[in-house]
Chain A
C-alpha cells in the first residue's frame, strides 16, 4: 500500500512546497489538492478492499462450518425436549414426595389420636395405618427413577456445552463480570445459603457448644 501511495504523497508534498500563500490559493489549487488526496486514498482503499474481502470470505466459511458443527450437537433437542422433560420430572418428584409425606403424616396422626383403651380396635387401626405408610414409601422407587433421568439430562447437557465451548474456542475468553441481580444480592445479604452437604455445614453439636 505504501508503494502505491508514495507517488501521490510526493505530488501532494510538491504541491504544498510550491510556497503558495493563503491569498494566492485559488479554487483550482484546492480542487487539484483534493484530486491528489482522492487518488492517494483510492490506492489505499483498493488494497484494503481486497484484504477485507478475503477476511470476510474466511469468516463466512468459518461461520458455515460452525453452523454445521452446532447442528451436529442437536442443541434444539435439549431446548425443546430434554430440558422441559427434566423440569416435568422434577415437578412430578415434588408432587410425589408431598403426596407421600401427607399420607404418612395423616396415618401417624390417626395413630396418635386413636384411643388405645379398646385394644382390638387400636391394633386393627395401627395395622391398617402401618400398611398405608409402607405403601406411601413406594414413592422412593419412582422418584429415584425420575431423578436418574434428570441426572442423565444434566450429564448430556454438560457434555454438549463442553463440546460447544471447545468448538467455539472460547475457553481462553475470560468470563465477563456479571452484574449481581436483585435476587442474588438479597440471597447474599440475608445469608440464604440453603442446605449444606453432609459434613460441610456446622453440626448441631457445634451449634450447641457455641450457644
Chain B
C-alpha cells in the first residue's frame, strides 16, 4: 500500500533549522501539507484546532517538552489516536522506554537521514 502523503503533518521543534530539514525531507517524500510548532504548548494548541495525520516531535523543548506533549496527546480522547514519532538527540535507554510506555509510535535518534525518516513513517502506517 502506498504511503498517503496527503495527510497534514505537524513538525514540533524549537530549532528552526531542524524544522527546515524535516520539512525538506518530508517534501522529498511527497508530503506537502506540513505545519510547524516551536514547542509542546504551541503544538497542543494547533492540534486542538486541526486534525493532523502525523506528529513528528523533538523531546527537549521549553516550556512543554515533546514527552509532555506525547502524554497530553495520549490522555486526550480526541487526539489520542494521532500517530506520533519522536525525533530527538535524547538517546538514553530510559528516554526510549519512557516514550514507548507513553505511547509513542516510533523513535528516531538525531542525527538521522532521509531513509530512516521514511522507514519510520512507513512503519507507523503499516507499509
Minimum CB distance partner of A109 in chain B: B24
Whether a CB of chain A sits under 8 angstroms from the CB of B72 is no
Per DSSP, chain B at the interface is helix
Q: Which of A153-211 contact B (CB under 8 A)?
A: 190-196, 201-204, 207, 210-211
What residues of chain B lie closer than 8 Å to A201, measured between beta carbons? 91-92, 109
Minimum CB distance partner of A97 in chain B: B17
The answer to whether B68 touches A190, judged by C-beta atoms less than 8 angstroms apart, is: yes
Q: CA–CA, A131 to B91, complex, Å?
A: 35
Pick the contact of A191: B94, B109, B112 (CB < 8 A). Answer: B94
Known contacts A105-B20, A204-B108, A204-B112; A191 and B98 CB within 8 A of each other: yes
The total of chain B residues at the interface (CB under 8 A) is: 29
Q: Which of A121-165 contact B (CB under 8 A)?
A: none
| Closest beta carbon of chain A to B6's beta carbon, Å | 20
The answer to whether B20 touches A202, judged by C-beta atoms less than 8 angstroms apart, is: no
Most B CB contacts (10 A, CB to CB) among A102, A190, A194, A196 go to A190
| Closest beta carbon of chain A to B118's beta carbon, Å | 13
Whether a CB of chain A sits under 8 angstroms from the CB of B93 is yes
Pick the contact of A202: B27, B68, B92 (CB < 8 A). Answer: B92
Pick the contact of A194: B20, B89, B100, B108 (CB < 8 A). Answer: B89
What residues of chain B lie closer than 8 Å to A27, measured between beta carbons? none
Q: CA–CA, A3 to B126, complex, Å?
A: 96
What residues of chain B lie closer than 8 Å to A101, measured between beta carbons? 17
Whether a CB of chain B sits under 8 angstroms from the CB of A95 is no
The answer to whether B92 touches A193, judged by C-beta atoms less than 8 angstroms apart, is: yes
The answer to whether B109 touches A192, judged by C-beta atoms less than 8 angstroms apart, is: no
Known contacts A204-B108, A211-B106; A190 and B116 CB within 8 A of each other: no
Q: Which of B69-99 contact A (CB under 8 A)?
A: 89-96, 98
The answer to whether B112 touches A202, judged by C-beta atoms less than 8 angstroms apart, is: no
| Closest beta carbon of chain B to A130's beta carbon, Å | 17
Minimum CB distance partner of A102 in chain B: B17
Known contacts A105-B17, A105-B20; A195 and B98 CB within 8 A of each other: no
Q: CA–CA, A192 to B110, complex, Å?
A: 15
Q: CA–CA, A93 to B63, complex, Å?
A: 25
Whether a CB of chain B sits under 8 angstroms from the CB of A117 is no
Known contacts A207-B107, A211-B100; A191 and B67 CB within 8 A of each other: yes
| Closest beta carbon of chain B to A113's beta carbon, Å | 10
6 nearest A-B pairs in the assembled complex, by CB-CB distance: A201-B91, A195-B89, A193-B92, A196-B91, A207-B107, A191-B95
- CB within 8 Å of B: which residues of A? 98, 101-102, 105, 108-109, 112, 190-196, 201-204, 207, 210-211
Sample of 18 A–B contacts (CB below 8 Å):
A102-B17, A112-B24, A112-B27, A190-B65, A192-B60, A192-B90, A193-B90, A195-B89, A195-B110, A196-B91, A196-B92, A202-B91, A202-B92, A202-B96, A204-B109, A207-B96, A211-B106, A211-B123
